[in-house]
Amino acid sequence: MDDLTSPVNDSSVQLLFSPQFSSNDFIFAEVDKNLVNYFLNGNEIYIRGYNSDEIVLCTTTETFCCKELEVSNSLLILEDTNAFNEVELSEESTSNNLKIVSVTNKFLETSRIRPNLIQKLKELFNGHKIEMFAKDGCSANCGIFLETILCCIQASKEELINKLAELPVIELEGKFYWISNEYILKFIDVIAEAVDNTGKDEIAYFSKDNLLQLISLENIQLETIDWVLNNFCDKNVDGKYSFNESKISRIYIENLLHSLPDKPLDFEDFELKINNLLPKQLYFKEEYLSGFGIV
């Protein structure tokens, strides 16, 4: 293999192929200067996802997609770039050898993205759901550690944690579980029955402590109770909760739509069905259908 020689000032640089030369061990990437500084300051950059996924780089707070580009010029990786800098600064006539570790004409162009995580998280948690009245009084699954999720999901740790906070996910003993819709609906029914204002056509108000005294806590995690109260109830200045009619109606509507057969249903029949399903003192309104794909 021929050597490549290039004059620099009065010095000559001889480019030799290193004994460890390989065209497959390195990947070039063009990255933002801030990302370079982040790495040079001792922080780690992660490549996340499955082998079949496109390459994604992650810091602790940001995610970057990578697009492979091809150029006409050859890109070299040298064994010791400091030696090349010393040659450029030298005023003496010298001969220097620089070793080429790798050559390529491809590189990765990186750009910041906002990862869409919902569908992938749903698929990942498919076997890790909290179910009410599960066999043997507990969920039949083992949950997922955060580090395991990070290995599978192409997002930074901060972005992932923020997204998990928006979803029906709770943490139990260091593991994360998805709260199934069936669980949420059954628990809302449990609350409704416990705080029922018999004979009163109004939404009941209740405190968390009072609720815990009225319901059986068997197969119900306190973290799940908090999640349902925070996401499907309103809290007044006295610290008491009441059902949020819109949010609760929408989850019942979604569940009913998924359960319907693939045939037309008269709107009046649909309204009757949903009102029969809703807790007492909650009533269906057409505005709650906003955002659903109904024809």
pLDDT tens for each residue of the chain, 295 residues long: 445 555 445 567 777 777 777 777 777 888 888 888 999 999 999 988 888 888 899 999 999 998 888 888 888 878 765 655 555 555 554 557 788 888 888 888 889 999 999 999 999 998 888 776 554 434 545 789 999 999 999 999 999 999 999 999 999 889 999 998 889 999 999 999 888 876 666 788 999 999 999 888 877 888 999 999 999 999 998 899 999 999 999 999 999 988 877 777 788 988 999 999 998 888 998 998 887 765 5
CA-closest candidate to residue 22, choices 91, 95, 104: 104
pTM to 2 decimal places:
0.75
Task: Yes or no: say if 183 and 191 are a contact pair by the CB < 8 Å rule.
Answer: no
pLDDT of res. 107: 84
Question: What are the DSSP calls for 138-156, one per residue?
Answer: S-SS--EEHHHHHHHS-S-
CA separation for the pair 250, 205 (Å, rounded): 20
Token pair of 236, please?
């007044």
Tokens representing 203 are 């939404």
Q: 93 in helix, strand or coil?
A: coil
Fold of 14-84+93-113: Immunoglobulin-like (2.60.40)
Which residues, at least 6 apart from 225, have a Cβ–Cβ distance to it below 8 Å? Answer: 187, 208, 211, 212
Q: Output the pLDDT for position 275.
A: 92
> Can you give the residue ranges of every domain in the chain?
14-84+93-113, 117-179, 181-289
Radius of gyration of the chain measured on its C-alpha atoms:
30
For residue 152, give every residue at least 6 positions away whose Cβ sits within 8 Å of its Cβ, in sequence order, or none: 48, 49, 50, 120, 124
Write 133-142 long-range contacts (CB < 8 A, 24+).
Answer: 133/186, 133/219, 134/219, 137/218, 137/219, 138/219, 139/177, 141/177, 142/175
